[in-house]
Structure 1
Amino acid sequence: MSERILVPVDGSPLSKRALEVACDEYGTAEITALHVIDPTEPGYSIFGAEYDPTTAPRYGSEAWYERAEELADELFEELHTVADEYGVSLRTETVVGRPDREIISYATDADVDQIILGSHGRSEESRLLLGSVTEAVAFRSPVRVSLIR
Structure 2
Amino acid sequence: MSRSHVLVPLDGSPLADDALVHALDTFDCRVTVLNVVTPLDASMSESGVLEPGEERRESARERADDLVDRAEKRAAAADRSVETAVETGDPAETILDFVGDRDVDHVVMGGHGGERHELARRLLGTVATTVVTEAPVTVTVVR
Scaled to the shorter chain, the TM-score interval is 0.7 to 0.9
TM-score in terms of structure 1 length: 0.81
Percentage of identical aligned residues: 34
CA contact (8 A) 1:5 1:22 kept: yes
Q: CA deviation at 1:41?
A: 7.6
In 2: Cα distance, 1:55 partner to 1:105 partner: 30
Equivalent residue of 1:7, what SS?
Answer: strand
Unaligned runs of 5+ in 2: none
In 2: Cα distance, 1:41 partner to 1:93 partner: 23
The corresponding residue for 1:4 is: 5
Equivalent residue of 2:112, what SS?
Answer: coil
In the alignment, does 2:102 pair up with 1:110? yes
Q: CA deviation at 1:128?
A: 4.8
CA distances 1:21-73 after superposition (whole Å, capped 9, x unpaired):
011111x311000000111489xxxxxxxxxx859631xx2222111110111
* TM alignment of 1:89-108, pairs within 5 A: 89-108=81-100
In the alignment, does 2:138 pair up with 1:144? yes
Q: CA deviation at 1:77?
A: 2.0
In the alignment, does 2:21 pair up with 1:20? yes
CA contact (8 A) 1:116 1:146 kept: yes
Unaligned runs of 5+ in 1: 43-52
TM-score in terms of structure 2 length: 0.84
The corresponding residue for 1:79 is: 71
Supply the AA of the counterpart residue of 2:86: T
Deviates more, 1:82-91 or 1:116-125: 116-125
In 2: Cα distance, 1:100 partner to 1:65 partner: 19
In 2: Cα distance, 1:102 partner to 1:31 partner: 17
Summarize the Cα distance change of 1:86–1:140 in structure 2 as closer, same or farther, 3 Å threshold. same
Once superposed, what is the RMSD of the aligned Cα atoms?
2.5
Deviates more, 1:120-129 or 1:83-92: 120-129
CA contact (8 A) 2:114 2:123 kept: no
CA contact (8 A) 2:64 2:86 kept: yes
Higher helix share: 2
CA contact (8 A) 1:116 1:145 kept: yes
Equivalent residue of 2:133, what SS?
Answer: helix
In 1: Cα distance, 2:33 partner to 2:86 partner: 9
